[in-house]
Amino acid sequence: MAAYQLSVNGKMYNVEAEPDTPLLWILREWLDLTGTKFGCGVNTCGACNVLIDGRALRSCQTPVRICEGRSITTIEGLSTDGSHPVQKAWEEMSVPQCGYCQPGQMIALTGLLNQTKKPSKEQIASVMSQQLCRCGTYHRIEQAVNRAIELSNQ
Ligand code: FES
Ligand code: FES
């Protein structure tokens, strides 16, 4: 076991864990931030996405030992009042069905928008095609992605 100090959604947390413990476990089981989901556990679905220093990464594949000193944002930290453009777009387009994959979808797009406010179709496809939705909400996700880009550029 080792001690780590983690910055999550602007708050500092002290945790003790084995160095290879996935960040996903820490978030869900110890910090009670259950918006981040466990889907596949093997880097294929994107349900576990979080932002680390603004970039979307898969928390099931991210050991806690590399998280100290970095800024972690989960779906709960996008905004508390729903004012983030991605949150607004998802609400406007009523995207979710069961909802399970949606935090990961939203974080993936937020990571892309953190890199560029005007992503190309290819950039969008390259990021969003890595996010699985078992309910098949892809059409609404596509609409929400376009709306979020509009809102981000207003
Ligand atoms: S749970 Fe991490 S990629 Fe699926
Ligand atoms: S909304 Fe159910 S898995 Fe995507």
pLDDT, position 12: 98
What is the whole-number distance in angstroms between the Cα of residue 17 and the centre of ligand 2? 31
d(CA 61, CA 36): 13
pLDDT, position 98: 98
What is the whole-number distance in angstroms between the Cα of residue 113 and the centre of ligand 2? 22
Tokens of 26: 């820490």
Q: Of the ligands numbered here, which is closest to the C-alpha atom of 132?
A: 2
Which residues are registered as beta bridge partners of 72? 8, 52
What is the whole-number distance in angstroms between the Cα of residue 132 and the centre of ligand 2? 8
pLDDT, position 46: 98
Which residues are registered as beta bridge partners of 63? 22
Q: Is the CB of 137 under 6 A from ligand 2?
A: yes
pLDDT, position 117: 97
Q: Of the ligands numbered here, which is closest to the C-alpha atom of 94?
A: 2
Residue 88 near residue 151, CB atoms below 8 Å: yes
Each of the 154 residues of the chain gets a pLDDT tens digit; together they read 999 999 999 999 999 999 999 999 999 999 999 999 999 999 999 999 999 999 999 999 999 999 999 999 999 999 999 999 999 999 999 999 999 999 999 999 999 999 999 999 999 999 999 999 999 999 999 999 999 999 999 9
d(CA 27, CA 82): 21
Give the chain's domains with CATH numbers: 2-77 (3.10.20.30), 85-152 (1.10.150.120)
Q: Is the CB of 25 under 6 A from ligand 2?
A: no
Q: Of the ligands numbered here, which is closest to the C-alpha atom of 27?
A: 1
pLDDT, position 97: 97
